[in-house]
Structure 1
Amino acid sequence: MQVLVTGGSGQLGRALVPALQAAGHQVRQMSRRGTGPGGVRGDLATGRDLAAAVGGSELVVHAASDPRGDPWQVDVAGTRRLVQAVDRDRLQHLVYVSIVGVDRVPFGYYRAKFAAEQVLLASGLPVTLARITQFHPFIDEMLATARRGPVLPVPMGWQAAPVDVAEAAGFLTEVAGGPPVGDVVEFGGPEALSAADLARAWAAAREPNVHVVSTPLPGKLSAAFREGSVLPSARAARGRRTYAEHLRGQHLSA
């Protein structure tokens, strides 16, 4: 199919584009600058060039997001602009890349992602909402940022099920090639780990002199992470590559 990937230049997009191409699709990747092979210009925040970028697409994988900027403008209003721009006579499937827990975690970015899901469900388009757990490199980044010299404080009791980026791209490629479900599908890592376990594994591999300290963190957000709100449900599909294998640079055999 003729496929458009929004956010094609991001971490997930860089794995997703070749996965879709390997499945036989003709892929264009949309970004504000339109750079790179198969790049087309389109701006979700303003709507500029959006209709031209989306026009003719039979499949859209909507992976663009703005967690560090204004997600309400890009993720929510931008998704609304995307809905208005697609060719409804040609579009067969729109897959939206979301996050496990957006419906349960009281965090502004998650609320924006959940609102974008609602925009799509109300659009009348053939959609699938693909919620995925945190990627391995995101865990690395969070732990590196949290480090304070020889000490790495982590929230006590928080849980996560991090997943391999390439495996997430493979899952999305399978979902995109199937029929729209008009609902949520989930994909998560192979194991649920506490923040302390993740931090100790990261420290052993990257910063062996760092001491991990679990710190109680009050509030509703912390309670949601302790209660497992970002863990995939029992029905979720699961990746195979563990966080420990990621830290060792170990890849799975086919």
Structure 2
Amino acid sequence: MRTVLLTGGSGLLGQRVIPHLLSHGAQLRLISRRPGREMPSVTWIQGDLRDPVACQQALDGADTLLHLATQPLKAGADLAVADTLFPALCRSGVQHVAYMSITGLERMQGAAYYREKLEIEQRLKGSGVPFTIQRSTQFHEFVAQLLQQLTLGPVTLVPAGVILQPVGAQVVAQRLAQLTLGEPAGRVPDLAGPDAASLTTLARQRPGRAGQNAVIPLPLPIPLFRAWQGRAAVASDAEVVGEGWASWLTASQRETTGATSA
């Protein structure tokens, strides 16, 4: 039976991967600044990943680490965690590290967050601990949230010239759980959804937006958007998994409608 330390367990992907790990019989250790809800086979460690003592305490008894914790909007945050976590990792009994990363990092080095993600991959490869690195394209859920944030009343402003190939977080979580509980596999093929389209097209496909919402592509001067220019965030040789954007939107709207009417 594997004992897995999961970082980022409260995030979009972490919440989805927990049930898959538990269904395979894993014992989970989760570290968080605030204790989470009690669940069978789950031990919560209250602490900060930047604290060496908390890191070591969380790793004690774990044979596997699934590292999902990330802060895209806080420069240097991911590297600060790696500065503490990786030395503790090398002193622990962990025999396998699974790390979630992002498609196209080498092409998107104009954004600090992507530079950090690539550096963490390189540190992991040089750590001496057996590892698995899974990259994927952007999640449907993330793209939907981003478009909502870019919508002001009847207008959605989107960065011009950006093509994305979104994938469902649920299908990535399922694969990630399998990889985490398997043998270390190094860098595995990227995962991507079936459809690559401009962010403008993705915005116009949202339910209820046709004829009601103007989508205006603009050269928005934000590092993340500049990093995505062209097909930088699109996978060239990924394994295609899950449903496309339009199908995901339909299913998501159905779930929302069902939850509202329940």
Q: Is TM > 0.5 for Structure 1 vs Structure 2?
A: yes
| Separation of aligned partners in 2, 1:60 and 1:185 | 20
- Give CA-to-partner distance per residue, 1:142-185, whole Å, 9 cap, x none: 11111233221222221111111111101101221332233354
Query: For residues 98 and 201 of structure 1, do their structure 2 counterparts lie closer, same or farther at Cα, with a shift above 3 Å needed?
Result: same
Q: What is the TM-score with the length of structure 2 in the denominator?
A: 0.85
- For the pair 1:52 / 2:57, whether they are aligned, the reply is yes
User: Offset at 1:226?
Assistant: 3.4
The residue type equivalent to 1:95 in the other structure is A
Please name the residue that 2:14 is paired with.
Answer: 13
SS in 2 for 1:17: helix
User: Which segment drifts farther, 215-224 or 27-36?
Assistant: 215-224
Please name the residue that 2:4 is paired with.
Answer: 3
Please name the residue that 1:41 is paired with.
Answer: 46
Trace 1:1-254 onto structure 2 (pairs within 5 A). Answer: 1-37=2-38, 38=42, 39-70=44-75, 72=76, 74-86=77-89, 90-105=93-108, 106-183=110-187, 185-202=189-206, 204-205=207-208, 209-216=212-219, 224-234=227-237, 236-249=238-251
Query: For residues 217 and 52 of structure 1, do their structure 2 counterparts lie closer, same or farther at Cα, with a shift above 3 Å needed?
Result: closer
User: Offset at 1:241?
Assistant: 1.7
The question of whether the paired residues in 1 share the 8 Å contact of 2:59 and 2:94 is answered with no
User: Offset at 1:121?
Assistant: 1.2
Query: For residues 122 and 138 of structure 1, do their structure 2 counterparts lie closer, same or farther at Cα, with a shift above 3 Å needed?
Result: same
Q: What is the TM-score with the length of structure 1 in the denominator?
A: 0.87
| Separation of aligned partners in 2, 1:45 and 1:207 | 46
SS in 1 for 2:120: helix
SS in 2 for 1:67: coil
The question of whether the paired residues in 2 share the 8 Å contact of 1:19 and 1:169 is answered with yes
User: Offset at 1:199?
Assistant: 0.5
User: Offset at 1:207?
Assistant: 7.4
Gap runs ≥5 in structure 2:
255-262
The residue type equivalent to 2:107 in the other structure is R
| Separation of aligned partners in 2, 1:40 and 1:66 | 20
SS in 2 for 1:118: helix
The question of whether the paired residues in 2 share the 8 Å contact of 1:32 and 1:43 is answered with yes
| Separation of aligned partners in 2, 1:121 and 1:201 | 40
| Separation of aligned partners in 1, 2:161 and 2:136 | 21
| Separation of aligned partners in 2, 1:83 and 1:56 | 16
SS in 2 for 1:226: coil
| Separation of aligned partners in 1, 2:14 and 2:224 | 29
Count of residues paired in the alignment = 247
User: Offset at 1:216?
Assistant: 4.3
SS in 2 for 1:61: strand
The question of whether the paired residues in 1 share the 8 Å contact of 2:49 and 2:85 is answered with yes
Query: For residues 155 and 181 of structure 1, do their structure 2 counterparts lie closer, same or farther at Cα, with a shift above 3 Å needed?
Result: same
| Separation of aligned partners in 1, 2:168 and 2:223 | 28
Q: CA-atom RMSD, angstroms?
A: 2.4
Query: For residues 47 and 32 of structure 1, do their structure 2 counterparts lie closer, same or farther at Cα, with a shift above 3 Å needed?
Result: farther
SS in 1 for 2:52: coil
User: Offset at 1:65?
Assistant: 0.7
| Separation of aligned partners in 1, 2:174 and 2:10 | 17
